Amino acid sequence: MRQRVRFSKIGKVRFLSHRDVARVWERALRRSGVRVAYSEGFSPRPKLSFGLALSTGYESLGEYLDIDLADDLDPASLPPFVSPSLPQGIEAQVAIAIAPGTASLQQAVTSSSWRLEVIDVDRSRLAAEVDRALASAVLPLIVERKGSESPLDARPAILAMEVDGSVLHAELATHPRSLRPAELVRALDPSWTLGRVLRTHQWTTVDGARGEPIPLGDRHAHGATSASHAGARAS
């Protein structure tokens, strides 16, 4: 059976790469005794698939992976089962069973909400630049993709922005063109330095309705809500 797991990546472990996190999960599942299905063929690999990569150094309250389990398991028991085998900072929060044919995380997720610290910038300047960007029709930016530079209009990917002191909350699209937090800050002002970055949510749109791949229940909600709704709107 296939299960989708929501997990966090907070603290020192944020310096793990996407590949590191995948390896950590593989080993944690083996340690916890949760049996994962393996691929066929010459060198069998455990069948895990991860959602959108989180850049090395960024934290997150909402990461996802899909696991093909070899045995049936109550989704509610997976997080408590595997969490003790995960390093401090990576916590399995909730799991659900997903039907075969469910859209992959890469396809389903259309945007992410971010909490960005902008370092050494006057608060009123930050608010002013954000207002200006939101009021603009286009926000030109040169981005680097696959080693080459290309021009991009950052504006369509900015779905929402609000400022809380020196913290910027932003919802950025992943489809059709994605915008990275560092690129957003560069588009606002190339001289600014991006500090800590936290992904608070990933969003899907199913039949026009916005939602999360797995919403956190009340039990888990405190971390996510406090981070995402902390600020007053700047515009």
Partner 1 sequence: MSVVGGASGTLARTMVDVWARLEPHLASVQKPARYIGCELGAEVPPPSPERVGWLLVYPDTYEIGLPNQGLQILYEILNERPDALAERSYAPWTDLEEVLRREGIPLFSVDTHRSADEFDVIAFNLSAELVYTNVLNCIDLAGVPVQSADRGPGHPLIGAGGHATYNPEPLADFLDFVVLGDGEEVVGEINAAIAAWKAAGSADRVEVLRTLAGIDGVYVPCLYEARYLPDGRLEVTAPVDPAASAVVDKRTVADLADWPYPKQQLVPLTEVVHDRLNVEVFRGCTRGCRFCQAGMITRPVRERPAEQVALMVQQGLRRTGYDEVALTSLSTADFSGIEDVVTAAMDDSVGCGNVSVSLPSLRVDAFTVGVAAQIQKARRTGLTFAPEAGTWRMRQVINKLITEEDLYAAVDSAFSQGWRRVKLYFLTGLPTETDEDTLGIIELARRCVELAKAEGHNGTVTVSVGGFVPKAFTPFQWFGMNTEVELRRKVNLLRDAARHAKGVQIKWHDPRASLVEGLVSRGDRRLGPVIEHVWRAGGTFQEWSEHFRLDLWEEAMAAAGLDLDWYCHRHRTEDEVLPWDHLSAGLHKDFLWQDWRDALEELGLEDCRWTPCYDCGACTGYGIEHVVASAVPPAGGSQGTGQGLRRGGEVPVTLLARKPAGVGA
Residues in contact with partner 1 by the rule CB under 8 A: 12-13, 15-17, 19-20, 23-24, 26-31, 33, 35, 38, 42-44, 56-57, 85, 87-89, 195
CB of 117 to partner 1, least distance (A): 11
Which residue, 33 or 151, has its beta carbon nearer to partner 1? 33
C-alpha dihedral sign at 35, 40, 42, 43: negative
For the CB of residue 43, give the shortest distance to partner 1 in the complex, in Å: 5
Cα dihedral sign, 179-181-182-188: positive
Least distance from partner 1 to the Cβ atom of residue 38, Å: 6
12 or 146, CB closer to partner 1?
Answer: 12
**Closer by beta carbon to partner 1, 87 or else 215:** 87
Are 61 and 10 spatial neighbours (Cβ–Cβ below 8 Å)? yes
Encoded tokens for 85: 């085998």
Nearer to partner 1, 33 or 208 (CB): 33
Q: Which residues contact 47 (CB under 8 A, 6 or more apart)?
A: 36, 37, 38, 39, 67, 68
CB 145 within 8 A of CB 151: no
**Beta strands 167-173 and 158-164, pairing class:** antiparallel
**212 to 72, 105, 143, 178, 179: CA distances (angstroms):** 24, 11, 28, 18, 19
Q: How far is the CB of 37 from partner 1 (least distance, A)?
A: 11
Residue 89 or 223 having the CB closest to partner 1: 89
Taking each helix axis from N to C terminus, what angle separates 181-188 and 123-135, rounded to the nearest 10 degrees?
100
Minimum CB separation from partner 1 for residue 203, in Å?
Answer: 25
